[in-house]
Chains A and B, each alone.
Chain A
Amino acid sequence: MMKRREFVTASAAAVGSSLLGLEALAETFSRRATAPSDEIHVGVIGVGSRGKSMMRQFLRLPGVKVTALCDVYEPRFGEGREITGEQTPVFRDYRRMLDDARDLDAVIVATPLGYHAEHMVASLQRGLHVYGEKAIGLTVDDCNAIVRAARASGSWFQTGLQYRYAPYYRQAIERIEAGEIGRPTHIYAYWHRNYNWRRPVPDPSLERLINWRLYREYSGGLLAELGSHQIDVANWIFGATPESVIGNGAITFYDDGRETFDNVQTVFTYPNGGTLVFSSLIGNHKVGYQINIYGTGGTVELTLEDGAFYYEPARPNSAVPRELVERGVHTTATLATRGDMPYRGPGLPIELPPEEAGDPSFLASVAFINCIANDQRPFADERVGWRSAVAVALGVEAARRHSRIDFADHVGTSVEG
């Protein structure tokens, strides 16, 4: 594990600037002899839906091998091996895997949220690099434990907030930081879907194992599973952790024995005046996934795969802000002067050169391996993970209480610094 520190290469600078970093990565590996000891060996704890998906991403990287699989549910072994195409060693107990798996360098932790802290801390304590799925922990204590373990460990921690690596998001946020929409003050974010969120369960005894998302012991419900990314985007834009949250939630659509809400509404406030309104429900699909960033001079809409900019219209009886005119920002084809509904139409799409398009999870995987190979702190590190997961945990609490929570009462001296 510690031998990865010898992997520092001259391409570190290139990796920093190149979003893809793949050329650098390939270069790194091709300059070495292709002996097995030069590969990066990755184990997977939790071979469920996300675990399998991340495995596929890692298998698309040169010089990376998935060498161990761990799950408590035996059918996952066959499913995992189908993906690796090999008789990958399998374990039912993650401690055995961490002890026995040969030459492990890194671990993907994609178990149910209630187990994240235990699995991530144990892996970090062994000095392994960890790709820890979002949210990093279920409770504030869990999140603190993970950050402490990451700090004490000699290895790197990257969290599964892959939109930090999505080219559309990066470009949009760069442009927002440059002032293109004035001062961003409010973010209205949604993830609405229309289905019961249940997975097929072969036997009733497996209900809590497979449908863990529906039970509070393991799950933060919709806010954790569907809100983490957008809360992270708000943290990113506002440059801080929230200081308070008001929450509400209910079971409105599926009264089937589940414990987590099927619709949740939260309002987070940030120091320096930002506000995030986040809504998730699974009884209507009209809105889908949307992040709307409202600034005094314009708006950005982000979806899972693209985005667009809109600029506030100049009204005939008010002064046009000077900065807008000087930057030559054009009002888009969306503007029809229709009184209180000035925006109809597509907005100014965020454009990317084709070579920059990429699946965010793939790009996140490339970045993680590059961090290991070049001994660099990940962009979506444990601190980024902490800020999102703590906001989720307190949001969940607020929603359950149908009330307001102040972060200061729960986090004290912020662990993540």
Chain B
Amino acid sequence: MGTTVEVYLYAPSSVRAAALLEAAFAEVERVEAALSNYRPTSELSRINAAAATAPVTTDPEVFGLIARALDYSRRSEGAFDITVGPLVKAWGFFDGAGRYPSDDELADARARSGWRQVDLDETTRRVRFLAPGLELDLGAIGKGWALDCAAATLRRNGVRAALLSAGQSTYYAIGAPPHERGWPIHVTDPQDTTRTLSTALLRDQALSTSGTGEQSFELGGQRYSHIVDPRTGQPVAGMAQVTVTAPTATDSDALATAIFVLGPERATELIRGPPAGAALLVMEASGEGRVLALDWPERVARLSR
């Protein structure tokens, strides 16, 4: 994941807190060990290595997560796609700043991606790739899933108020701090991160943010994000940041990425669910209409630009 996970919780004693935190982190480690692309021993790496050769049986959790991801692909018409890895690599985003891929490199990357090339057999829990070179990357929803699992562990152990964060881009809130309406998460303006656009008060809810200013780059005078549109093979331009709230962190992660790619017109339908959520979109633009709120329940700061 390459992310720092933080957990804040309320507990009756520090000994109990230590045991609870340990249990939460153990869950995060477990999910990471199963889903990380960076570990050759992960279950996901095992699937990636073999599924083009023959169907690979996997356990219900991993199978279910892949199925859920493909379902998001279906509903977002491919804007969300866990097979987008080769395209991301073609644009050089894995290592650094970005570079234009050649037409051949792009064509090759497109041939080796596409959610429709993943075939799932639900009865046997088998995953099959219909093209060689396909690669599943669950990074987009893996953080959310890890937080959802860790939160479930905390809830099972009686925790009533906690905030979990993965890289400060995905949050899950259990309950609210005592006497508060929710856990406050400040959504900042990507053009000026000292400025808060809106403060979400999370209670038994998740929040994810896609795209941040530092991760954008410029090529040929155009500003691009690091997020590739799986449908076109091009990095998304024109969108600076998308923040989504949803019932689970897996959903908020998927929706934030999907909406970033889809853009405002198609986003409304997606955010209405199921599951229903809310979104705050910040465009790469200036003036009125730079910030768009979709069913967003909190106040959004008016911007002078």
Contacts and interface: CB of A to CB of B under 8 A. Distances in A.
B305 interface: no
A409 interface: no
A23 B60 CA distance: 21
A162 B146 CA distance: 25
A114 B201 CA distance: 48
Contacts of B22: 195-196, 198-199
Nearest to B24: A200
B40 A200 contact: no
A199 B19 CA distance: 5
Interface string B199-211: 0000000000000
Contact of A199 (B23, B46, B158): B23
Contacts of B26: 49
B303 interface: no
B54 interface: yes
A359 B59 contact: no
Contacts of A200: 16, 19-20, 23, 157
Nearest to B43: A60
B302 interface: no
Contact of A355 (B49, B57, B59): B49
A415 B23 CA distance: 39
A56 interface: yes
Contacts of A56: 34, 59, 61
A56 B15 CA distance: 30
Given A199-B23, A200-B23, A362 B49 contact: no
A75 B43 CA distance: 27
Given A59-B60, A85-B60, A196-B18, A305 B157 contact: no
B18 to A, nearest CB: 6
A62 B18 CA distance: 39
Given A60-B58, A195-B22, A196-B19, A202 B41 contact: no
Contacts, number: 70
Nearest to A256: B15
B41 A354 contact: no
Nearest to B158: A202
Contacts of B216: none
Interface residues of B, number: 32
A203 B174 CA distance: 21
Interface in A46-92: 49, 53, 56-57, 59-62, 75, 79, 83-85
A196 to B, nearest CB: 6
B62 to A, nearest CB: 8
Contact of A84 (B23, B54, B60): B60
Interface in A21-66: 23, 26, 34, 49, 53, 56-57, 59-62
Interface of A: 23, 26, 34, 49, 53, 56-57, 59-62, 75, 79, 83-85, 195-196, 198-202, 256, 305, 354-355, 357-360, 362
Interface of B: 15-16, 18-20, 22-23, 26, 30, 33-34, 40-43, 45-46, 49, 54, 57-62, 64, 124-126, 156-158
Given A56-B59, A357-B41, 19 more contacts: A23-B54, A60-B57, A62-B126, A83-B59, A195-B18, A195-B22, A196-B15, A196-B19, A199-B23, A200-B19, A200-B20, A200-B23, A202-B157, A256-B15, A358-B41, A358-B46, A359-B41, A359-B43, A360-B41
23 contacts: A26-B54, A56-B59, A56-B61, A60-B57, A60-B59, A60-B62, A61-B57, A79-B156, A84-B60, A196-B19, A196-B22, A199-B19, A199-B23, A200-B157, A202-B157, A202-B158, A256-B15, A354-B49, A355-B49, A357-B40, A357-B41, A359-B33, A359-B43
